[in-house]
Structure 1
């Protein structure tokens, strides 16, 4: 969190219709997030929005029905992040469940092919002789690749959730809730969620056609078995957890907590040293997702997809161990790159009032698979939009950039504005409000940086550049217990748009020590209580003052067990 962050409290009240068994603290948390009943706070699958209104589903399901009936080769083309990998696995598994016998998958290599369905990837896929390509988590911006595929006589179904450009690609069918004319109420589906909805619509059409016969099986296969994958991809992609996404994620978490997840996800949870019985969305975001993502960042996401598709426990554990090792390498590369970025920024030696409105960072030795994580870290530290660039491949004269933004500054629209004003700078771009990717020639970097900073200077205000730490208020002394900590943990899923609860208060620092050179372990005192706390990455080389005001999460301390709880400090300031 930015050192100049401001601690503020959310407006909250214990209002609404709640069961007597729900702790008043949890009622207050839900009300502060706009929920006034259990159905809004903890939506179930029965409340899932129907596919009606999602543009392109009729054309998409017709393509798939015809391909299944004619035993054509369906090739699901994934993407090299966690959302793309889980969407690919959902597509392959779901189509096989619905009767497709010739289903295979492919994924671009970040270094070799670049993003999405590119002409280079199409050329490589020709040897597989597909009849129908199904893109997942990409495609809405892949004009050239789709054109190349159709020139070969292949049909193309695009399933995506990214924002489209000025024109749509010439695919046979497009399902994207963010395309013009789409009336589906939730625009926040991840790529894996879009593919899941396509499968729901396909099953409904097959059911209406009597494809599943009569009796108990007449409804068709149970697609809810795919929700563990849907949950992981949705959380890892940091899309807003609106009620529809929370219903999907909560159902997936229930499967994972019951030990019913796919072999690959169970192995990834195990290698992440998490307890599947208490798995949370935060565990997916900080432990499971990064290990899956690491394959696409440093190696080849084909390995990650293989992990998600295998039903062999031994093979899943072997692949998960490899992914864990790759993730360790990714963390080392990320730390080195972040240290270099921070050192470069420190050399500018600007105080908060004179910092640039936005940052563009580039180093010829950086890895293109990790620049997004560097941009994210620097954005969190400085509370500025940040784009980090690396050569597309060693020695290349093309750059790949990954952008991360702050609330109030739509990064994809900003790139579109730069592209409109300077048509020759950006080769291609795409993304969301908070994250985007782009590529440009090396010799265009400085001109792009100036144009992007100029765009940020126009759009950003001092208020937007002030980071806020939102608190749900103080906890009563009686609420620092295991019962409340577990109710908060299990009251989610928490995430983007439905923030995990955190609280604030003033505490005496009774003792402290440094853990693993970077983390700060504290014993805090308040109202006669002695509370264990930890601030990850909180050691700044300075002894903590006697009294502090902190923002924190209350969590069960499973390491100490029993009734132990700990405070996870997210913001600290001296009193």
Structure 2
């Protein structure tokens, strides 16, 4: 099974006037290609944040919180076992303490023991805590049974979430979610950590209006480091509102004003805090937090983010680092299994779509990473399944989609057409999760493939690489590389700049076992260019001339004014 070679297409950009002279022409072109036609749109500020008033039920949510705080009641924050959920939990606990909560505790489900979200099993285990108010962060919109169980114990429940709701809403006392039907909040792409941050902003305004002195002094901006990490790690689109949040959080982290846990994670990941980027969060900080929830218990990650003791935070960061190394080994083994399984299948008909993978030995905490990697390799929606726990008849699946196919809508369509096949599901346009019984897997696989083929335009199965065109010879320097690095934050919906061009391959060598180090020459450019293609060695020597898609970056290894091309795609000249 293999995907067609991708098509390389250059973005179009109409650059207008009104840019200050401090913005290089290269950046103006890149910003314009992403729909940002002035500096305010390109680099949004906190002052331009959308107000929380338009969020549905925000008044009811802040009333619940203000009432619990004023009465000194116990508030229980329940997070989720991914990075967004962990940072959201830390933001909620830290923020509510700032605003006067004296009795606040937190918890997080164990992936193996409790399953996803606020389940009845989790509520039962939390019953001894006897909170008056339970607050979910980054989940809850699909947790009907768990919320009913909490309500049966006499607890009030506030749901803060960003996942898409199903046909009905759970019986919570209040739900804040920008994706609720009829919600008028302009940005629908807040991460879970962004939603709880907005709830805290609204709560602070309410308490200030009541003359609360503690709220008057509360600096919620100190939580933006956590908001930035959760937002980037959850791969939500970086619209202007999210970019303002992430930019502010990055500024705190670069100034070493982040929380002790994030500072320790940045250090142990070998990143330079002063030059930290959204990519560093996505590829180094976020995975170390996520690893705890994937293989062990996210409580370790949350404890790291809540610690104010630098030594303790460093110890916890070291533990997360070790868990992440184990996660990478497990992931690679599972990827090898998945690639072998796919290779054993006949080539895919270009008109067909939808791949389901399962191995009884796979770990349920890592299937999302496998699905993501295989989706990229095949350019098809992929669902990877693993037993919910060893020898279990229940499977947990993680789905990843390609642009143009809303994967949660696919699962909803399968659920309607084949009732009883899926036990539960939820998610977003590009990622979703589901649970089903092992003996339903074959039937689900066929239903999924058929539904995808009905809903997906076959033309979308041809991968497309968008670039920002070619760089001019004088732009291959450290000044432009630094501008590109610092001009973000780049991410989903506001992609990091990449360029394409035709190069002569002057020299090459294999680095390690999988990477390719290249020396390239651009026609008309006097100096050779250093390039690295991570994972690019496929036991086939590069051609003498190749078309290359690349990013321009400072070469931190060589230092000084050195730059390198980070290769994203290569193809021999003349290839289709």
Match in the other structure for 2:299? 302
Q: Which residue number in structure 2 is paired with residue 188 of structure 1? A: 189
Higher mean Cα deviation, 513-522 or 110-119?
A: 513-522
Contiguous gaps of at least 5 residues in structure 1 = none
Say if 2:548 is the partner of 1:566: no
Query: Using the alignment, how far apart are the partners of 1:380 and 1:403 within structure 2?
Result: 12
Distance 1:516 1:251 in 2: 37
**In structure 1, what is the equivalent of residue 330 of structure 2?**
333
Partner of 2:419: 423
Q: Distance in 1 between matches of 2:174 and 2:255?
A: 37
Q: Which residue of 2 aligns with 1:276?
A: 273
Unmatched 5+ stretches in structure 2? none
1:536 aligns with one of 534, 537, 547: 534
Cα offsets for 1:91-115 (capped at 9, x unmatched): 0000000000001100000000000
Alignment of 1:49-88 (within 5 A): 49-88=50-89
Instruction: Give the CA RMSD over aligned residues.
Output: 1.1
SS of residue paired to 2:118: coil
Task: Give CA deviations for 1:114-141 in whole Å, capped at 9, x if unaligned.
Answer: 0000000000001111111100000000
DSSP-derived class of the 1:529 partner? coil
CA distance in 2, matches of 1:359, 1:403: 10
Query: How many residues of Structure 1 are paired with residues of Structure 2 in the alignment?
Result: 570
Counterpart of 1:248 in structure 2 is: 245
- Give the superposition deviation at 1:14: 2.7
Report the alpha carbon displacement of residue 559 of structure 1 after superposing the two structures with TM. 1.1
User: By how many angstroms is 1:52 displaced?
Assistant: 1.4
Pairing 1:318-467 to 2, within 5 Å after superposition: 318-350=315-347, 353-354=349-350, 356-467=352-463
For the residue of structure 2 that corresponds to 1:549, the secondary structure is: strand
Within 2, Cα distance between the matches of 1:229 and 1:519?
33
- Of residues 40-49 and 352-361 in structure 1, the stretch that sits farther from structure 2 once superposed is 352-361
Alignment of 1:67-216 (within 5 A): 67-212=68-213
Partner in structure 2 of residue 552 of structure 1 = 550
The question of whether the paired residues in 2 share the 8 Å contact of 1:405 and 1:411 is answered with: yes
Any conservation in 1 of the 2:76–2:134 contact (CA below 8 Å)?
Answer: yes
1:513 aligns with 2:514: no
Q: TM-score, normalised by structure 2?
A: 0.98
- Which of 199, 220, 231 aligns to 1:234? It is 231
Partner of 1:317: 314
Q: Deviations over 1:154-193 (max 9, x none)?
A: 0100000000000000000100000111100000000000
SS in structure 2 of the partner of residue 80 of structure 1: coil
Deviation per CA, 1:286-345, whole angstroms, max 9, x where unpaired? 010000000000000000000000000001110111111100110011011011101001
Q: Counterpart of 1:464 in 2: which secondary structure?
A: helix
1:493 is matched with 489
- Give the secondary-structure state (helix, strand or coil) at the position aligned to 1:387: strand
Between the aligned partners of 1:346 and 1:220, the Cα distance in structure 2 is: 60
The alpha-carbon deviation at position 221 of structure 1 amounts to: 0.7
Name the SS of the counterpart of 1:52 in structure 2. helix
**Equivalent residues of 2:350, 2:458 under 8 A apart:** no
Whole-angstrom distance in 1 between the partners of 2:278 and 2:328: 21
Contact 1:503 1:552 in 2 (8 A): yes
Q: Which residue of 1 aligns with 2:476?
A: 480
Shift of 1:237: 0.2
State TM-score, norm by structure 1: 0.98
The 1:151–1:84 alpha-carbon spacing in structure 2 relative to 1, beyond 3 Å, is same
CA contact (8 A) 1:203 1:220 kept: no
Contact 1:160-1:194 at 8 Å conserved across structures: yes
Contact 1:2 1:380 in 2 (8 A): no
Q: Deviations over 1:520-546 (max 9, x none)?
A: 111111122211111111110101111
Q: What SS is found at the alignment partner of 1:495? A: coil
Distance 1:23 1:405 in 2: 36
Looking at structure 2, the residues matched to 59 and 570 of structure 1 have their Cα atoms a distance apart, in angstroms, of 48
Q: Distance in 2 between matches of 1:242 and 1:354?
A: 33
SS at match of 2:508: strand
* SS of residue paired to 2:196: helix
Distance 2:509 2:393 in 1: 47
Contact 2:351 2:458 in 1 (8 A): no
1:194, 1:36 → 2: CA distance?
28
